Structure 1
């Protein structure tokens, strides 16, 4: 089968490439991957806005002190709140001191502190039998909004140059592929 292409100078006959199921399946798969990449990019943009401008933080869990509520390897989004807004039962992240990682545990008691803005929070991990050794005096904490199990290793790797370079190349390839002109659909 041939196709006639007319130009200002002449008429050219070219063989028409047959449309195969494989080409159609590849196109559909590519579209699905492009939409999935766009959704992931949108999610990353939302998290970037939340953490950069609205005071949210992403916490990665490497210990099992909050299991089964928050398993090891989870990532959580925490929102900054005043200590006066903290209630018993909240899961909060507090700073422990210089050079130490913050702790995320459940609030078991809230008491007033010496200063008007501060509170003394007694915390306990859900997997622990005892409260933390001493109450934390805080004026502000990070309250957990939600957590996603199993994504902490991936989130930690995404920030490394070993991952950012290949992801940039893949993103550029998707953009080029998505914007590449396609042949018009032909009627049968």
Structure 2
């Protein structure tokens, strides 16, 4: 019988939390409204101990920034041991949203040092390539790999620029316990017929 892991709940200064994920402005504002309306923070963000009494955020960047938007100086967080595999399992969220396809593709083409390649089917192995920024899968069946051969910092910056293209629209954050496939993505589109774009990101 395996032991049950319970995170260490703490109230910490938001200024002591180092963010390492791009903030979705639209989602942040929506979460802030929900927190204010409900009077509570659901699913406290996950952090790990960092340097000089600071914390590194692992999950929940929009919740952290939503709390900050409400003028709170502290936030309830779950503190985990990043070095313990029983505490942390790396994975990445994917986004499902609605966009003007041609506008998005045209905007990405204009980003510096970014390469776009259309493929016939979604292949999750693309996400393991070192230069992959993301993979776009549209409801019409088209799939586009987006990459850059610049530094890791530039890759993260370009990733943020792409998320920015749909930051003000409704975004469903979807997760799969197994690698994404063309079929599993199609199921998500059937579940959310109002959306036409699925964006998969690599796990760092």
TM range (shorter): under 0.3
- Highest CA radius of gyration, 1 or 2? 1
Question: What is the TM-score of this pair, normalised by structure 2?
Answer: 0.22
